[in-house]
Amino acid sequence: MPTFLDPQKLRDPTAGARYLLGAVIERRLDDGTILKGRIAETESYHQSDPASHTYRGPSARNAAMFGPPGHAYIYFTYGVHWCFNVTAGVEGEGAGVLIRAIEPLAGIERMREFRKGAPDAQLTNGPGKLAQALAIDKMLYGHDLRQPPLQVYDAGNVKASSITTATRIGIRLAADELLRFYITDSPYVSKK
């Protein structure tokens, strides 16, 4: 029996970002195909963080992050890419964890189709890439991650000694904060 995420462990978004490393994302496509991936890299965003979409308070865009933890916050950026986050914090608090990279575990053939042309090593090693590989878009905005067709399972903790802490990628504000975490020896990390 797979174990679902414990929302209690997402109440602190930074502890939640560490907790989500090693967790397994399961995506069920409309035709029944199952895609799976192990989370290899995450970033934490909290409400008093100038780099967070929730910094200026609730809005239509960021509403999911102010809801209960363990749901999907999905946003579109640079006119091109969808990015997938797991909501964190307590209800009413705007926080989330960006999933930056996963290791493909199942359904890799389908991921190659969705990521047309990309070599295997670059299938899911970035936030926009993994969303494309798993066919995640705004249809899943606010989705409860305990329910199909998009679920996240707790696969046991990754050893603290195998987690690397680093600065976040692609942000302008609070760029020095060490709020990015990745599995040190994973080949699917977006950037060392």
Is 8 in a helix, a strand, or coil? helix
Based on CB atoms, which residue is closest to DNA, 115 or 143?
115
Strand ranges (E), the chain: 3-4, 24-28, 34-45, 72-77, 81-87, 96-106, 150-154, 163-166, 180-183
Residue 45 CB neighbours (<10 A): 29
- Does 159 bind DNA (CB under 7 A)? Our answer is no
Tokens encoding 58:
């609730």
| Part of the chain binding DNA (CB under 7 A), chosen from 24-32, 44-52, 152-160, 179-187 | 44-52
- Residue 30 CB, shortest distance to DNA, in Å, is 22
- Does 18 bind DNA (CB under 7 A)? Our answer is no
Distance of CA 16 to the CA centre of its chain: 11
| CB burial string 57-88: b at 16+ within 10 A, e below | eeeeebebbbbebbbbbbbeeeeeebbbbbbb
Distance between terminal CA atoms of the chain? Answer: 34
| Part of the chain binding DNA (CB under 7 A), chosen from 1-9, 20-28, 30-38, 112-120 | 112-120
The correct pick among 68, 128, 142, 149 for binding DNA (CB under 7 A) is 128
- Does 54 bind DNA (CB under 7 A)? Our answer is yes
- Residue 32 CB, shortest distance to DNA, in Å, is 26
- Does 56 bind DNA (CB under 7 A)? Our answer is yes
Could you give the string, one character per residue 75-104, with x where binding to DNA holds by CB under 7 A and - elsewhere? xxxxxxx-x-x----------x-x------
Residues in CB range of 165: below 8 A, 6 or more apart = 178, 180, 181
The correct pick among 10, 40, 62, 114 for binding DNA (CB under 7 A) is 62
Based on CB atoms, which residue is closest to DNA, 56 or 159?
56
Looking from the CA of 155 toward its CB, the CA atoms found within 13 Å total 16
Residues that bind DNA (CB under 7 A): 43, 45, 51-54, 56, 59-62, 65, 73, 75-81, 83, 85, 96, 98, 115, 117-118, 122, 126-129, 168-172, 190
